[in-house]
Chain A
Amino acid sequence: MDETTRRKLEGLNHLVHDGVHAAVSETEKVHSEIARYPYAILERITPIAMPVRVIEFVQTSITGLVYRSVRLGATMASTAAAVTLAALPDDKPEP
């Protein structure tokens, strides 16, 4: 593989990695904002406020774990792609 193509593929790999991270983080932010609405309403009902908070904590913990897993998966895929690119042989110079 020639140097220019290698640089471009490495750049694409970084771009996809950063793009997936940014998209997942933005989605997580919107998701948590929307999910907060019903909890905010239910928390105003004093007798069920405590269990609502517990349920919200469990829900946000699970969804947070899912989003972190997606980001971790993207990082692992990106690292694997970077290692593969690094292992590809360079073009031999023309005689």
Chain B
Amino acid sequence: MNARTGPPHPAARWSERGISALNGVVGDYLDRNHNGLAIPMAFVQDLQPLALTASALRAAQPSPTGKLVILVHGWCCNEDVWRSREDGETYATKLQRDLGFTPFAVRYNSGMPIAESGAAFARVLTELVDAYPRPVDDIVLIGHSMGGLVIRSACQFGAEANAGWLSRIRHVFYLGTPHDGADLERFAQGATVAMTSSRNPITRLLGRILDVRSAGVRDLHDGETRASTGGEDAQAALPWLATARHHRLVGTLTKDPSHPVSQAFGDGLVKVPEGATPGETHPDVTVFPGVHHMQLARDPKLYAAILAVVGTS
């Protein structure tokens, strides 16, 4: 809670959610035109950007610890996606309560190319660690959906810049992250091509409307290969940060993960990765039956799994 202004008004939450959704759809256009609705990458608290100075961080976190947990939201969302509808808690605030982590969350323009968001996240993470009022020992990163790709991209930029925070990352959790690409975006791209090739002017118009999609969502077509930094290895998959442990938590629409609906649609937006037999736990993939894509960001069962991993290592 912000000591000066109190908790944000519900209308402000809805307004910020709307702006974040707008950024997801046309965020690259907003950024290109220097539109005031474009969201800059920033750590946020109570809907407000957090100044990355020691005094501002101490005011925001009066009892900072050497262990940070950072939440990175997905496409068209903001940090509000992590809030439990029951108690307003997030995975980060729960880890603060249970294991003494200091919670942070970022907000960014999810319509930007994932590699650009990754570079921006690496930059603000460097600034946070530099300004943090005490040495940082451990970092846990939790990314929901596109947020997981932003984390992987940021780690690549961090490695290229030899960033000090990279070696402090202990665990990275990817919740419903489309590392292998998202079928919905593939469908949208196919439909766009088909509709804009039609001889019917109305169908072509609908195709052009469907084509108004941000660079961020287009990057979800190929997942990790589009989150890379470009150059000669533009089509190469992002490497997994070798010094951290990676955990992929995925959901399914139905309680029976072998149900054809779950097999076809996964959590509604992202399919269960190949190699993960539904219902079983793999070294890096855990399936949560009956947890849909958005619920992955605030589900008690996922938190229990995160707590078990972080608490025992």
Residue positions of A touching B, CB distance < 8 A? 6-12, 14-15, 18, 26, 29-30, 33-34
A29 to B204, CA, bound (A): 11
A to B CB contacts below 8 Å, 7 in the list: A9-B36, A10-B36, A15-B22, A26-B205, A26-B209, A30-B204, A33-B201
- Interchain CB contact under 8 A, B37 and A15: yes
- Interchain CB contact under 8 A, A11 and B36: yes
Contacts A11-B36, A15-B26, A30-B202 known; list 15 others, CB within 8 Å.
A6-B36, A7-B36, A8-B36, A10-B36, A11-B35, A11-B38, A12-B36, A14-B33, A15-B30, A26-B208, A29-B205, A30-B204, A30-B205, A34-B201, A34-B202
Please name all residues of chain A whose beta carbon is closer than 8 Å to the beta carbon of B33 when the two chains form the complex: 14, 18
A35 to B63, CA, bound (A): 69
Q: Which residues of chain B from 196 to 226 have a CB within 8 Å of any chain A CB?
A: 201-202, 204-205, 208-209
A52 to B37, CA, bound (A): 49
CB distance from A5 to the nearest CB of B (A): 9
CB distance from B19 to the nearest CB of A (A): 7
Q: Mark B27-71, 1 if CB is under 8 A from A, else 0.
A: 000100101111000000000000000000000000000000000
CB-based nearest B residue for A7:
B36
- Interchain CB contact under 8 A, B201 and A14: no
Q: Which residues of chain B from 140 to 187 have a CB within 8 Å of any chain A CB?
A: none
